[in-house]
Amino acid sequence: MSLKALSVKGAVHIGFLDYTLFPEYPEFYATYRLINQRTGQLYSSKFRISVVDLTLRNQATKEDIAQHRDLWAAFFKATEWGELMALANKDSNISEAVVTLKKLSDDELFKLRYQAREDQLRQQWDMEYYYNTKFAEMEEQNAAITAEKDAMAEQHANDLRLIEELKKELETLRKA
């Protein structure tokens, strides 16, 4: 491995979920890495995805508690400033996050931007739902039209067979 590759900083993603990602393997804190499916070769030791399940805070290990992961879970579940302030007293990083959150929530322009973004996301979801619903309706209509077309084609084929049979019968009657 080159010196350049060794000097690259790692990329870490931590997702805080309010549900259990894999119910068959419930875990408060889990870390995943990318591997080659065929060979099992690790993609990179400098890339990982971690997941904190906010619903399983009571399953935090001693290491999770030592790393304050349980406090961060409480931070994301907090609903009142008092809870956040109590957490801020226990961890300096959470304290910084609480200060930033307070500044942002007091900032009227930020609130307006946040609300605009929420409205945009809601409108986007509504449009996607509308178009998905319309697409499903069109698929149903297309299936009905296709079935009707197939039935008409079958009827047409039956009609042609009947005409041929009647022609043969007419020809037989003319000869008799």
142 CB neighbour count, 10 Å cutoff:
10
Q: Which residues contact 102 (CB under 8 A, 6 or more apart)?
A: 81
Q: What is the pLDDT of residue 3?
A: 60
Q: Establish if 38 belongs to a structural domain.
A: yes
Residues 15 and 75 in one domain: yes
Number of domains comprising the chain: 2
Mean pLDDT computed over every residue of the chain: 92
Q: Establish if 96 belongs to a structural domain.
A: no
Q: Establish if 68 belongs to a structural domain.
A: yes
Residue 1 has pLDDT above 70, yes or no: no
Q: Establish if 162 belongs to a structural domain.
A: yes
The pLDDT of 43-56, averaged and rounded, is: 94
The pTM of the full predicted model, rounded to 2 decimals, is: 0.57
Q: Establish if 168 belongs to a structural domain.
A: yes
Residues 19 and 68 in one domain: yes
Percent of the chain predicted with pLDDT > 90: 78
Q: Establish if 35 belongs to a structural domain.
A: yes
Residues 158 and 125: their CA atoms lie apart, in Å, by 49
* Domain assignment of residue 161, given as a range: 120-176
Residues 65 and 126 in one domain: no
Exposure letters 11-36 (e unless 16+ CB within 10 A, then b): eeeeeeeeebeeeeeebbbbeeeeee
Q: Establish if 2 belongs to a structural domain.
A: no
